[in-house]
Amino acid sequence: MHYIECFGCGDVDGGLHMTSTVGEEHLVRSRFEVTRAHQGAPGLAHGGLLACAFDEALGSAAGNLLRRPAVTGKLETDFLRPVPVGSTLYIVTKLDGVAGRKIYVSANGRLDAEDGPLAVRARALFVEVTFEHFTSHGSADALEKFSQTAGRSREDWDINP
Ligand SMILES: CCCCCCCC(=O)SCCNC(=O)CCNC(=O)[C@H](O)C(C)(C)COP(=O)(O)OP(=O)(O)OC[C@H]1O[C@@H](n2cnc3c(N)ncnc32)[C@H](O)[C@@H]1OP(=O)(O)O
């Protein structure tokens, strides 16, 4: 699901501005362009923001492949190489399994190319929720907010292009 005020995939100042697409073999491909706004150490991406980028990529996979609302229950990241400002992380996510409401996904992030060096690995458990999760814990008008995609039709609001 796509929400325009989402820090990961929305049109938010200072956000990650990530896009994800479902490709061959049901793999979801996401890109994260690392800018100075994402720094931890000078010239290097902050680990917490990298975890955020993977939360977005993994969540996009869980949501787009299964078309069910789900939230992150658990997220693990392995930081294997430094990720410099100016680089692009090519993230490929796969669905590992579903058990009841539990959705298991994992992802690899490679530097600057689909076949670049592996920089970050992550896996997560998403838990399927009802829309009431968002209306009762977040905004009462969450459903309407999810549907607000500037310039897009109602039919495709649940896809992050
Ligand atoms: C729609 C677009 C949204 C996209 C957002 C992008 C991703 C996000 O950033 S989501 C925001 C961060 N995440 C959250 O805020 C979630 C906060 N947590 C919660 O709301 C709840 O703990 C929630 C919904 C995950 C689970 O609660 P609840 O619905 O009561 O289910 P619960 O029965 O506890 O758990 C369901 C199953 O998941 C398992 N589970 C839940 N959390 C974990 C965990 N951290 N580790 C391992 N297993 C877990 C439970 O053990 C249970 O397993 P089983 O079915 O085998 O017994």
Give the domain CATH number at 95. 3.10.129.10
Residue 75 placed within a domain:
yes
| Ligand 1 near 72 CB (within 6 A) | yes
Which residue is closest in CA terms to ligand 1's atom 32? 127
pLDDT tens-digit map of 49-86? 999 999 999 999 998 899 999 999 999 999 999 999 99
Residue 8 placed within a domain:
no
Rg (CA), the chain: 15
Which amino acid appears at position 89 of this protein? L
Residue from 102, 105, 127, 135 whose mutation best tests the ligand 1 pocket (most atoms within 8 A of CB): 127
Residue 78 placed within a domain:
yes
In this model, does residue 157 exceed pLDDT 70?
A: no
Residue 161 placed within a domain:
no
Residue 111 placed within a domain:
yes
Query: Which ipTM value was assigned to this complex?
Result: 0.96
pLDDT tens-digit map of 48-57? 999 999 999 9
Choice between 152 and 17, residue whose per-residue pLDDT is larger: 17
In this model, does residue 100 exceed pLDDT 70?
A: yes
Domain assignment of residue 58, given as a range: 19-154
Quote the number of domains for the chain. 1
**According to the model, what pLDDT value does residue 149 have?**
56
**According to the model, what pLDDT value does residue 153 have?**
40
Residue 91 placed within a domain:
yes
Catalytic annotation, residues: 55
In this model, does residue 91 exceed pLDDT 80?
A: yes
d(CA 24, CA 44): 32
Rounded to two decimals, the pTM is: 0.92
pLDDT tens-digit map of 103-129? 999 999 999 999 999 999 999 999 999
Distances (CA, A) of 136 to 26, 109, 150: 32, 34, 25
Ligand 1 centroid vs 73 CA: distance in angstroms?
4
Which amino acid appears at position 45 of this protein? A
**According to the model, what pLDDT value does residue 151 have?**
43
Residue 6 placed within a domain:
no
Which long-range CB contacts under 8 A does 127-133 form with residues at least 24 apart? 127/70, 127/71, 127/73, 127/101, 127/102, 127/103, 128/66, 128/68, 128/69, 128/70, 128/101, 128/102, 128/103, 129/69, 129/70, 129/71, 129/101, 130/69, 131/69, 133/69, 133/71
Which residue is closest in CA terms to ligand 1's atom 42? 73
